[in-house]
Structure 1
Amino acid sequence: MGGQPVERSMDFRGSGRRLLGALRPERGIAFAVLALCTVSITLTVLGPKVLGHATDLIFAGIVGRQLPEGATKAEAVQYLRDGGQGTVADMVASMNVTPGQGIDFGAVGTVLLWALGLYVVASLLNLIQARVATNVVQRAVFRMREDVERKLARLPLSYFDKQSRGEVLSRATNDIDNIQQTLQQTLSQIMASVLTLVGVLAMMFWISPLLALVALVTVPVSVLVATRVGKRAQPQFVQQWKTTGRLNAHIEEMYTGHALVKVFGRERESAEVFRAQNEKLYEAGFRAQFISGLIQPAMTFIGNLNYVLVAVVGGLRVASGALSIGDVQAFVQYSRQFSQPLTQVASMANMVQSGVASAERVFELLDAEEQTPDPEGPVGPRTVLGQVEFEDVSFRYQPDTPLIERLSLSVSPGQTVAIVGPTGAGKTTLVNLLMRFYEVSGGRITLDGVDAATMPREELRSHIGMVLQDTWLFGGTIAENIAYGSEGASHETIVEAAKATHVDRFVRTLPDGYDTVIDEEGSNVSVGEKQLITIARAFLSGPSILVLDEATSSVDTRTEVLIQHAMASLRTGRTSFVIAHRLSTIRDADVILVMESGRIVEQGSHDALVAAGGAYARLYAAQFAEPVAEPE
């Protein structure tokens, strides 16, 4: 994450093939695009040859008018030779000329109409294939976005723990947008360029094999230049998009925590980090665009050399009578058309490299290791009572760092289990294992006798309501946020849940009541009110098991007391896990578990644990006893 430029890119060729493979479901339409493009290019390639014929007619008329009228072509040629104009005689001999006859404007007009028809039909076909190609690309990118969305749903929580949110968002948005732009702007052009090269080369050999070989002399030089420059540009494009992801991550973090940034006066440090990341992005982007930008002027220079060679050799061939002036004119146009696709492909190299660099990042996300698949078919208990068993459960975030070792716990239906302990003791981890956000390293967790690992995650979590310390609300009304976990909930049931959790008392003070729209950050309601809404959401879902992870940490003391009373009635018949630092909130729990370093060191009721004078008693005394001396 140091931002140093990479030495070389990832598998450019393999990623490019895989990116093209995304178009495979549209191969039928893609073949139609290819057919339309082929016909369009064929008609376009025939255009210069037809125009060359018109030039021959005009030139023949100009020359014929200067020859003796009534003489035959052979006599006119001999007349020129006798006059010492052998070169002109050779040229006239190769022409379709009638001495004394001027320009046949009727024939010229017919030829020009044919040329116009060719170009009009070619343009229409090109327009149709561009429309169809756009459809192919949009469908492919649509599927890629769907694949990323489904992949994010299958990734384990550990993946998001290791990746910054801005980096993941950048891959799912910026990189896919860049892939779309790359395919949209290059796919048809590359196809047209390749077909143009083939068609033009065929016409060039048809007109003059010698001139065709002269034109091909510069091709190896062009390929060498494009290849060398492209290899140097690709790593810079990879670095550009990596830096973009890091910059997005920083911006997202600073925007989310902008209040804390201001409170602690870290605006300058935040701006400095942004400046450094922005500078790295500027440098990587400049190097990528500058290096790849060298291709087009180099190819233009080589194309101009090709044009000069063709013009010189073609002029000599016309003078010798081996070619007509119309054929040379057509060949000059073909030489331009021949170098133009090479220049276009070379100029698109930077966009292609940028698109493949983004594709590599998206494929890296799609190839990330997924959570273990759910078993097929329902295997959970028919009726969930809430009997939870931890049987010799072991877990570790890192393979060589154990956190929980051989933990056993039995929770009866309807019991309230409070989990306390110092920070890092494994309290939240225990709940995450129950929710299968992480998989146990050893042992098993059962729900009413059924191994949770054999149950589909969606089914398991449908029986569990969870309220986290960090609240999450989405952009929508308060009613919609409360009903988020209960599809089809009526307004009456929403209000009942709100009243039970004391949400109703502040909602009714709002001008729009339950129709009040909350933004994504929930900035128009207080932190405590957001917490109450999430509690109402969990209660409305009617779970068999409640998980409250510091659920009342953000509410005032009076509200906390009210919620505790509401929880007492709502927990009736439900198994509840309460993680708390404020021990006053769990005095009435049926069982209190005291955890240290991933182990349960004590368990029992509040009174029994205080009387035992152990770890819980020390925590309780430290929290409620008056300090007897200032710490040194």
Structure 2
Amino acid sequence: MQMHKNRPKNEKHSRTVMIRILTCIRPHTALVALSLLLSVITVVLTLYIPILTGHGVDQIIGKENVDFKELSAVIITILACIAVTSVCQWFMNHINNKITYRVVKDLRICAFNRLQVLPLSYVDSHSSGDLISRVITDIDQFSDGLLLGFTQLFTGVITIVGTILFMLSINPYITLVVVVLSPLSFLIANFISKRTFAMFKKQSEARGELTGFTNEMLGGIKVVQAFGHQDEAQEQFEEINRRLSGYSMRATFFSSITNPATRFMYSVIYAGVAIAGCFAVVRGMLTVGQLSSFLSYTSQYTKPFNDITGVITEFQNSLASAARVFELIDQPSIAEDKAGAVRLQNPEGHVTMEHVSFSYVPEVPLIENLNLEAGCGQRIAIVGPTGCGKTTLINLLMRFYDVNSGIITVDGQNITDITRHSLRAAYGMVLQETWLKAASIRDNIAYGRPNASEDDIIRAAKEAHAHSFIMRMPDGYDTVIAEGGSNLSQGQKQLLCIARVMLCLPPMLILDEATSSIDTMTEIRIQKAFEKMMEGRTSFVVAHRLSTIKSADMILVMDKGHIIEQGVHEELLKKGGFYARLYNSQFSAV
């Protein structure tokens, strides 16, 4: 019963996706028209050959009674038709490939561009494997279906129409047998295709889930093995794979019925034409050559139906994959900068937060009525237990998320009145989670300043205490970092991230557990580099090691989204409150 309820919805969704696909093809209308023209030429010549064949058969009247002159002319004409048809088919396939891959290229660019502007809330709520699957796997599936559509659907439809016209020119009555029986094939194909779309859609979703899980396991394979989680991971993988296999089997089952069912109908049609044709020959309504032509046409007429039903099956998979891609493309992007938003120029770094409230989920409040003022050049340390809102505070400062209520200002300007690009360019970030692209060390350090000189890059690396280990690498600054920085230690990756900020030196800094993966001796050197880097710059330092923030101008102690204490290190220790307990818990042995 549920399947019948969902069927109209699936049909409407399928039509909507089809309209979107046609919209994607529209820019290539000229190539589509040329492909159709070549398809018409190919079909007409192909269908003309049976007439020539029948004419040739009629030239063989009997033993020692053959019109060789006329037969030779027929054979030459057939060979010429075959040659022209082959050339047209080659060009048509080339054009179809060009159309398909241009559409796919445009669609993949569009999907990737959408990823660049999606709100972090959407990215955070979807696994990276699912998003990758939409941009790569689903578009590949769509490509296969689209190529089949151009290659076989156009030619198939034109062949059907052309065959009927040629058969009508030979004998309208026998043609009627073909036309009357043919709709049964369409009814069977339509009945089955309605049931395959839903299964192919579930198959695509399960495939994305499996890709995401595999990606997650590969990224944390050391942790999986260290905690002996292989069996549980295997069970979870098998459960998702079992669901994917089930959806795939059901989709394949429905789609596999199409071919044998339609072939049965083709056989019935062929038999009907053969019987009717034999009676027509006996009555003198057809020649033997015309009957051979008619049987050839009947065979050619049924073949496109088989191709089209195969295309329909593949196209259902393609539509399901395209639907997931369009769903990604249709996601609302980050809200545009407000009309009249200005560029933040020469910021001094005076940052305030007034009555700010924010939550990721409306039902679960996180930050409520938070007030903060950071003067120009001040060093603001933010401490507190895990989940208290420290990193969320950073996300709000950078406008990765917008506040639910209240305002944040920089130099007296509401950050919603400032362009996001100029606001984020005013901050330099070093995060606990490092990110390096698969490129040379030089390119990674110069990520924020691509035109930086070699001397500036080396200077930044030296100030970050990264120069020495870089020079020990096989190719120095030209050493290519593997994907995810797998050929570097966690500490080395963090040093490169610090060097990246050292090179840009923006007016405001955000250091979110920036030295968490660095050994104690290196941390001491890095702290000296940070001291130099933070001179005259407003800095927000999120730290768990309280020893690193003793010199901060203001320490904010957060708990459950509120600032519960603030002051300098000595003041907070004297209060004997939450900060003092945190500090003493870390140095209780001292």
Identify the TM-score tier after normalising by the shorter chain. over 0.9
Aligned-partner residue type, residue 302 of structure 1: M
Does residue 1:587 correspond to 2:550, yes or no?
Answer: yes
1:50–1:376 Cα change, 3 Å? farther
Match of residue 49 from structure 1? 51
Structure 2 residue aligned with 1:400, among 363, 379, 383?
363
Structure 1 residue aligned with 2:21, among 19, 22, 25?
19
2: CA distance between counterparts of 1:508 and 1:119? Answer: 67
Q: CA deviation at 1:504?
A: 1.5
| Gap runs ≥5 in structure 1 | 1-5, 66-101, 628-632
Structure 2 residue aligned with 1:445, among 392, 404, 408?
408
Structure 2 residue aligned with 1:295, among 255, 258, 262?
258
Does residue 1:341 correspond to 2:304, yes or no?
Answer: yes
Secondary structure of 2:335's counterpart equals: coil
Moved over 4 A (4+): 6-10, 375-378
Structure 2 residue aligned with 1:494, among 457, 466, 483?
457
1: CA distance between counterparts of 2:340 and 2:95? Answer: 42
Cα RMSD, aligned residues only: 1.9
Match of residue 602 from structure 1? 565
**Residue correspondence of structure 1 range 349-360 to structure 2 within 5 A:** 349-360=312-323
1: CA distance between counterparts of 2:340 and 2:476? Answer: 42
**Residue correspondence of structure 1 range 367-516 to structure 2 within 5 A:** 367-375=330-338, 379-516=342-479
**Residue correspondence of structure 1 range 151-300 to structure 2 within 5 A:** 151-300=114-263
Secondary structure of 2:234's counterpart equals: helix
Aligned-partner residue type, residue 439 of structure 1: D
1: CA distance between counterparts of 2:102 and 2:261? Answer: 36
Aligned-partner residue type, residue 166 of structure 2: M
Match of residue 517 from structure 1? 480
Q: CA deviation at 1:626?
A: 4.2
Q: CA deviation at 1:570?
A: 0.9
Q: What TM-score, normalized by structure 1, do the two folds share?
A: 0.89
Q: Give the stretch that moved more between structures: 267-276 or 460-469.
A: 267-276
Residues 309-332 of structure 1 show CA distances to partners (whole Å, capped at 9, x for unaligned) of: 101110100110112222211111
Aligned-partner residue type, residue 18 of structure 2: G
Q: Give the stretch that moved more between structures: 35-44 or 373-382.
A: 373-382
Q: CA deviation at 1:255?
A: 0.4
Q: CA deviation at 1:562?
A: 1.2
Query: Are the aligned partners of 1:380 and 1:450 in contact in 2 as well (CA < 8 Å)?
Result: no
Query: Are the aligned partners of 2:182 and 2:269 in contact in 1 as well (CA < 8 Å)?
Result: no
Match of residue 91 from structure 1? none
Query: Are the aligned partners of 2:341 and 2:417 in contact in 1 as well (CA < 8 Å)?
Result: no
Query: Are the aligned partners of 2:443 and 2:450 in contact in 1 as well (CA < 8 Å)?
Result: no
Does residue 1:309 correspond to 2:265, yes or no?
Answer: no
Query: Are the aligned partners of 2:354 and 2:406 in contact in 1 as well (CA < 8 Å)?
Result: yes
Q: CA deviation at 1:377?
A: 7.0
Query: Are the aligned partners of 1:419 and 1:593 in contact in 2 as well (CA < 8 Å)?
Result: yes
Secondary structure of 1:333's counterpart equals: helix
Secondary structure of 1:465's counterpart equals: strand
Aligned-partner residue type, residue 384 of structure 2: G
Q: Give the stretch that moved more between structures: 231-240 or 153-162.
A: 231-240
Secondary structure of 1:543's counterpart equals: coil
Match of residue 60 from structure 2? 58
1:481–1:381 Cα change, 3 Å? closer
Q: CA deviation at 1:376?
A: 6.2
Q: CA deviation at 1:618?
A: 2.2
Aligned-partner residue type, residue 157 of structure 2: V
Does residue 1:547 correspond to 2:524, yes or no?
Answer: no
Residues 333-371 of structure 1 show CA distances to partners (whole Å, capped at 9, x for unaligned) of: 111111111111112222111111100110111111221
2: CA distance between counterparts of 1:195 and 1:516? Answer: 58
Aligned-partner residue type, residue 385 of structure 2: P
Query: Are the aligned partners of 2:388 and 2:559 in contact in 1 as well (CA < 8 Å)?
Result: yes
Secondary structure of 2:387's counterpart equals: coil
Aligned-partner residue type, residue 468 of structure 2: R
1: CA distance between counterparts of 2:470 and 2:310? Answer: 60
Residues 568-604 of structure 1 show CA distances to partners (whole Å, capped at 9, x for unaligned) of: 1110121100001111111100111111221112211
Q: CA deviation at 1:7?
A: 6.6
Q: Give the stretch that moved more between structures: 224-233 or 169-178.
A: 224-233
Residues 268-302 of structure 1 show CA distances to partners (whole Å, capped at 9, x for unaligned) of: 21122222222222222222223211211211111
1:556–1:7 Cα change, 3 Å? farther
The structure number with the bigger radius of gyration is: 1
2: CA distance between counterparts of 1:240 and 1:249? Answer: 14
Query: Are the aligned partners of 1:288 and 1:350 in contact in 2 as well (CA < 8 Å)?
Result: no
Match of residue 294 from structure 2? 331
1: CA distance between counterparts of 2:420 and 2:430? Answer: 18
Residues 127-184 of structure 1 show CA distances to partners (whole Å, capped at 9, x for unaligned) of: 1121112111111111001101110011010111110111111111000111112112
Query: Are the aligned partners of 1:196 and 1:341 in contact in 2 as well (CA < 8 Å)?
Result: yes
Q: Number of paired residues?
A: 584
2: CA distance between counterparts of 1:206 and 1:515? Answer: 74
Secondary structure of 1:488's counterpart equals: coil
Match of residue 141 from structure 1? 104
2: CA distance between counterparts of 1:377 and 1:120? Answer: 65
Secondary structure of 2:401's counterpart equals: coil
